[in-house]
C-alpha cells in the first residue's frame, strides 16, 4: 500500500487531510479530543433541517448501490415503530479498504454520523456492524470516549462477501447467520428486532457528519469518493477524489498509467478494455458505460495481464462465496465460474462463449443478493470488451492448465 492520498479540488496531490471537508486523514487513530476540536459532535440541527440538507446536497450511499441517502432516511423515519440505525462496516469486496480504514482511524466521524442519523429518524438504538478486529477495538475505544448519548452496540460478524448485504446485516444482529433473506420486507420496513432499520455504509455516515459540521463545504463533501486503487504490480492506495475524475488521471497518479484495462467497483462493475481511460468516476457515467462504481474499488490490468484469467479468478471467488441459499445462485455462479475456468485453461468447447452470453443475460436479478449479478456482469463484460481473447486463449502462457484460486487473493488489498 503506497499510502492515503487526495485529489480534492482545493488540495494538491498528496497526503491527507487537505481540507475540512475531507473524510480521510492520516493513518493514526483520531481520538475524541482531536475530533471535538475540529467541530465534531456539534449539537444536532432540527431533524427536518438536517434531512433537507442531506437531500439538497444530493448525498448518495457509498456501499455500492448509490441510493439517495435522504430517501432512505425518510423511509425509516416515516415507518411505524421506533427505528434502529446501523453503521455497516463489513466490506465484502476483497479489493476495498475504505470502510475498515474509517473505522480504524476515524471512528468518531462514523459514530457522529450514526448519532445524526438517529436524530433524523428518531431511532432509539444504534449498532456498528463489522468483522475487522482492529476496527472493533477502535470503535470500542471511541465509544468509551464520546459524549453520552445514543445507545450503540458493536456486532462482529465472520467475514464473507455477502455478510454486508443489508438483510444479512439484520439477520446477524438478530442472532442469526450473516446471510441474505428474501425481500420484501426490506430493513426499512422491518429490520432489527422487527423495527424499521437504517443500514447505512460507514462512509455514507461519515459524510452525513461532515455535512452537519461543514455545511459550507457541502459540494466537496458530497462530490468526493473514497476509492481503493490496486493492480497486478502490487501498487495500491486509498484515495479521496472528486466525482467525475477520469480514470486515466487516477491511474497516472498512482503508478498504473500503463494499464490496459480496469475491473470496476470491486467485483461488481465488470471489466472495461478500450476506452476505459476516458471513463469518469461517477455513478451515472459508469452506469452509462455499462459498468458500476460499486464500493469504489478499481483494479488495473497491466500489460501482460490476461483479462480471461482475471475474470476466471473473480467468478471462482464469487462462486465460492455464494451463501448457498438460492439454487439459481449456486448453479449460476458455478456454471459461469466453470465455463470461464475452462476458457482460461484452454479446454473450453466452441459453444462456451454462446453459453456465457446466454447465462450473463438470463441470471441477473434472480438471486437474493447481488453476488450472482456480479458474476454475470463479469462474464458479460469480458464478452463485450475482449471477445477475441476467448477465441485466442488456448495459447495464453499465463493461464494454460492453471486452476483459478477461490480465495480472491489477486484482488486483496491491505488497509494502509
| Residue 20 burial (CB count, 10 A) | 14
CATH class, domain 307-411, is mainly alpha
| CA-based torsion, 53, 56, 61, 67: positive or negative | positive
Domains in the chain: boundaries = 22-213, 221-301, 307-411
Q: Is the pTM of this model over 0.85?
A: yes
Output the tens digit of pLDDT for each of the chain's 416 residues.
445 655 544 433 333 444 556 776 667 899 999 999 989 999 988 888 999 999 999 999 998 788 999 999 999 999 999 999 999 999 989 999 999 999 999 999 999 999 999 999 999 999 999 999 999 999 999 999 999 889 999 999 999 999 999 999 999 999 999 999 988 899 999 999 999 999 999 999 999 999 999 888 898 899 899 999 999 887 888 989 888 899 999 898 888 989 999 999 889 889 999 899 999 998 888 888 888 888 999 999 998 889 999 999 999 999 999 988 888 899 999 999 999 999 988 888 889 999 999 999 999 888 888 899 999 999 999 999 998 888 777 667 767 666 778 888 899 998 88
**H/E segment holding residue 336:** helix 327-345
CATH superfamily of 22-213: NADH-ubiquinone oxidoreductase 51kDa subunit (3.40.50.11540)
Using the CB atoms, write b or e for 386-398: b if 16+ within 10 Å: beebbeebeebee
* Helices 47-57, 69-78: inter-axial angle, 10-degree rounding: 150
Spatial CA neighbour of 221 closest among 36, 73, 20, 3: 20
CATH number for 221-301 (one of 3.50.50.60, 3.10.20.600, 3.40.50.2000, 3.40.50.150): it is 3.10.20.600
For residues 100 and 135, the answer to whether their CB atoms sit within 8 Å is yes
Amino acid at each position: 500500500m503506497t499510502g492515503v492520498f487526495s485529489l480534492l479540488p482545493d488540495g494538491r496531490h498528496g497526503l491527507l487531510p487537505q481540507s475540512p471537508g475531507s473524510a480521510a486523514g492520516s493513518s493514526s487513530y483520531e481520538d475524541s479530543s482531536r475530533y471535538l476540536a475540529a467541530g465534531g459532535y456539534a449539537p444536532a440541527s432540527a431533524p427536518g433541517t438536517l434531512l433537507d440538507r442531506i437531500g439538497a446536497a444530493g448525498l448518495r450511499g457509498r456501499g455500492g448501490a448509490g441510493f439517495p441517502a435522504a430517501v432512505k432516511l425518510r423511509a425509516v423515519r416515516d415507518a411505524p415503530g421506533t427505528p434502529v440505525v446501523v453503521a455497516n462496516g463489513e466490506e465484502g469486496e476483497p479489493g476495498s479498504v475504505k470502510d475498515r480504514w474509517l473505522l480504524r482511524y476515524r471512528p468518531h466521524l462514523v459514530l457522529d454520523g450514526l448519532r445524526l442519523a438517529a436524530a433524523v429518524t428518531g431511532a432509539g438504538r444504534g449498532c456498528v456492524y463489522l468483522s475487522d478486529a482492529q476496527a472493533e477495538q477502535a470503535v470500542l475505544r471511541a465509544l468509551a470516549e464520546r459524549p453520552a448519548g445514543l445507545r450503540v452496540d458493536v456486532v462482529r460478524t465472520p467475514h464473507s462477501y455477502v455478510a454486508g448485504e443489508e438483510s444479512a446485516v439484520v439477520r446477524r444482529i438478530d442472532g442469526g447467520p450473516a446471510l441474505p433473506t428474501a425481500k420484501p420486507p426490506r430493513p426499512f420496513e422491518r429490520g432489527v428486532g422487527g423495527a424499521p432499520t437504517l443500514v447505512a455504509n460507514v462512509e455514507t455516515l461519515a459524510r452525513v457528519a461532515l455535512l452537519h459540521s461543514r455545511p459550507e463545504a457541502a459540494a466537496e463533501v458530497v462530490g468526493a469518493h473514497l476509492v481503493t486503487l490496486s493492480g497486478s504490480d502490487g501498487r495500491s492506495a486509498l484515495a479521496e477524489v472528486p466525482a467525475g475524475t477520469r480514470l486515466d488521471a487516477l491511474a497516472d497518479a498512482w503508478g498504473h498509467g500503463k494499464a490496459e484495462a480496469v475491473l470496476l467497483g470491486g467485483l461488481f462493475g465488470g471489466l472495461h478494455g478500450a476506452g476505459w481511460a476516458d471513463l469518469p468516476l461517477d455513478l451515472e457515467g459508469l452506469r452509462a458505460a455499462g459498468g458500476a462504481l460499486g464500493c469504489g474499488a478499481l483494479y488495473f490490468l497491466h500489460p501482460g495481464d490476461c483479462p480471461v484469467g482475471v475474470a476466471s479468478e473473480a467468478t471462482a471467488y464469487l462462486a465460492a462465496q455464494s451463501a448457498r441459499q438460492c439454487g439459481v445462485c449456486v448453479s449460476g455462479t458455478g456454471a459461469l465460474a466453470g465455463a470461464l475456468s475452462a476458457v482460461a485453461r484452454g479446454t473450453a468447447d466452441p459453444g462456451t462463449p454462446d453459453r456465457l452470453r446466454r447465462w450473463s443475460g438470463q441470471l441477473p436479478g434472480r438471486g437474493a443478493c447481488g453476488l450472482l449479478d456480479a458474476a454475470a456482469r463479469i462474464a458479460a463484460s469480458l464478452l463485450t470488451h475482449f471477445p477475441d481473447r476467448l477465441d485466442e486463449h488456448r495459447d495464453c502462457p499465463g493461464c494454460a492448465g492453471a486452476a483459478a484460486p477461490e480465495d480472491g487473493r489477486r484482488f486483496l488489498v491491505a488497509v494502509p
